[in-house]
Structure 1
Amino acid sequence: MTDDDTMRISRIFLNTTLSPHQLITLDEKPSHYLSKVLRLKPSAPLIVFNGDGNQYNATIEAVEKKSVTIRTEACDNINNESPLSIHLGIAISKGDRMDLVMQKATELGVTTITPLTSERTEVKLKGERLEKKLQHWQQIVISACEQCGRNRIPAVNALSTMDNWIKAVEADRKFVLHHRTEQALDSTQAASSTALLIGPEGGLSEREITAAEQYNFAALRLGPRVLRTETAPLAAISLLQHTWGDM
């Protein structure tokens, strides 16, 4: 099997216990995806994982009208996780910007994402609408892991206020993006865990930035240009991964 063949094998997240040489009849949703969307047939190879850090080679055994049965093969403990833990706290934004951040932050290796409300947050979520949005974001993260080869799923935490999050989050180094500061990243101090605070479209207020600094968040500027709320976290995560991670 060539590298190109391996790259074409579909990776599927399964929310179930996995073990070698296991026969599994999939639920309707993954069955529909494999049989109707990907149009895979019996004997087609797969890679399946459940977020515990392992992945399994698998083969489609049968394709029925509403179900697909697969058989797992050997367990493969492939670790694609960064040595740097990154907890992203980001104010929720309008439209599909938050979806983009969830997807790309996962690809870049973020460990945990906490959606936040802040003084200038325009999106109001609560009740059933909030619960559906959290489930939607978690599914985006899972899909990103299927695509990028991660075998551990980043956590998408419950919605929090910015003030509560900065008090509770723990990390070796903490940063708040602030385009009006002159302070660049100080890479002289080692870090195995980081927390990154990103504001909404209108930015964090001066009070919020001051509050974050009081809880040991260092103000961080990413160059002279003002970055959009969906661009800033991705640039910052890349910088942190380059400095202390695996980029």
Structure 2
Amino acid sequence: MRIPRIYVDLPLQESSVFDLPQASFQHVCKVLRLKNDYSLILFNGQGGQYQAKLINVEKRSAQVEVLNYQALENESPIKVTLGQTLSRGERMDYAIQKAVEAGVHRIQPLFSERCEVKLNTERLDKKIQHWQQIAISAAEQSGRGHVPEVLSPINLLDWTSNCKDMLKITMHHHSAKPISEMSEPEDKAVSVLIGPEGGLTESEVEASIQHGFQPVALGSRVLRTETAPVVILTCINLLWGDIH
């Protein structure tokens, strides 16, 4: 059986012992039915991971003994901040999950003119927690040592006007400029703007251009808002990152 890889929001160090958090206990001991001395891999999103094993498994609790540290070298050298306009249903969840698997560094949810998602303060707080958990689960699955942060949603125009990265890209299917014509940014950082299901308005595209964003298209086909992150991240890492 594949060794379970578990995220724990705790400091980790070799030769330490701690109580397994309840959510992890339910998954490891109740769902997977692991017993004493079973192996685990632990990470806390700060880089690297630890070999560990279950000890003192009881009916309602278990402990973990942390063994040796393992460095990881699987983070993309290109730090991509994804400006993802909010979409309905599970599309936003999918976009976040796949972006993390594809190596995104940070995710900035955005409100736009054609964004149909409306959230009050209470729902917004719950959504942020939900999206961050998706990012954690995707990092667990994909073997990453870092968990990308999902920021609180802001207005698209506020984000584009304050973005400081050297290379800034707007996904815009009417553009004829291919990403392969762009040069690798010296600061190894890229910001990518992706519109909602109905697309960006012309005024939003023009505003992003005024703030240094370059419209690019990826071929002749129109991508869905939840598909675009995977495609653009793959292209960026193929050109300048760790896909060879």
Give the TM-score normalised by the residue count of structure 2. Answer: 0.96
Q: Partner letter of residue 210 of structure 1?
A: E
* CA–CA separation in structure 1 for the residues paired with 2:80 and 2:182: 18
SS of the counterpart of 2:179? coil
> Aligned residue for 1:91?
85
> Aligned residue for 1:131?
125
1:64 corresponds, among 58, 61, 65, to 58
* CA–CA separation in structure 2 for the residues paired with 1:236 and 1:78: 24
Measured on the aligned residues, the alpha-carbon RMSD in Å equals 1.1
Contact 1:115/1:158 (<8 A) preserved: yes
- Say if 2:237 is the partner of 1:241: yes
1:227 corresponds, among 223, 228, 237, to 223
Q: Partner letter of residue 42 of structure 1?
A: N
Number of positions where the alignment pairs a residue of Structure 1 with one of Structure 2: 241
Following TM superposition, by how much is the alpha carbon of 1:228 offset from its aligned partner in structure 2, in angstroms? 0.8
SS of the counterpart of 2:129? helix
Contact 2:98/2:229 (<8 A) preserved: no
1:215 corresponds, among 208, 211, 215, to 211
> Aligned residue for 2:67?
73
- Say if 2:196 is the partner of 1:200: yes
* CA–CA separation in structure 2 for the residues paired with 1:54 and 1:235: 27
Contact 2:180/2:239 (<8 A) preserved: no
Contact 1:187/1:243 (<8 A) preserved: no
| 1:139-196 Cα shifts (integer Å, max 9, x gaps) | 0000011111001110101111000111122222110011111111144522211000
* Bigger shift: residues 111-120 or 223-232: 223-232
Written as runs of structure 1 = structure 2, the 5 A alignment for 1:90-239 is 90-191=84-185, 192-239=188-235
2:7 corresponds, among 9, 13, 38, to 13
- Say if 2:40 is the partner of 1:40: no
| 1:104-147 Cα shifts (integer Å, max 9, x gaps) | 10000000001000000001112110110110000000001111
* CA–CA separation in structure 2 for the residues paired with 1:35 and 1:48: 15
* CA–CA separation in structure 1 for the residues paired with 2:181 and 2:140: 32
* CA–CA separation in structure 2 for the residues paired with 1:188 and 1:89: 19
Give the TM-score normalised by the residue count of structure 1. Answer: 0.95
SS of the counterpart of 2:98? helix
Following TM superposition, by how much is the alpha carbon of 1:96 offset from its aligned partner in structure 2, in angstroms? 0.3
Q: Partner letter of residue 225 of structure 1?
A: R
SS of the counterpart of 2:92? helix
* CA–CA separation in structure 2 for the residues paired with 1:224 and 1:73: 51
Following TM superposition, by how much is the alpha carbon of 1:62 offset from its aligned partner in structure 2, in angstroms? 1.9
Q: Partner letter of residue 34 of structure 2?
A: L
* CA–CA separation in structure 2 for the residues paired with 1:76 and 1:27: 22
Q: Flag the 1:186–1:215 CA change in 2: closer, same or farther, 3 A.
A: farther
Deviating above 3 A after TM superposition, structure 1's stretches of 4 or more consecutive aligned residues are none
* Bigger shift: residues 133-142 or 72-81: 72-81
Structure 2 unmatched runs, 5+:
none
How many percent of aligned residue pairs carry the same amino acid? 43
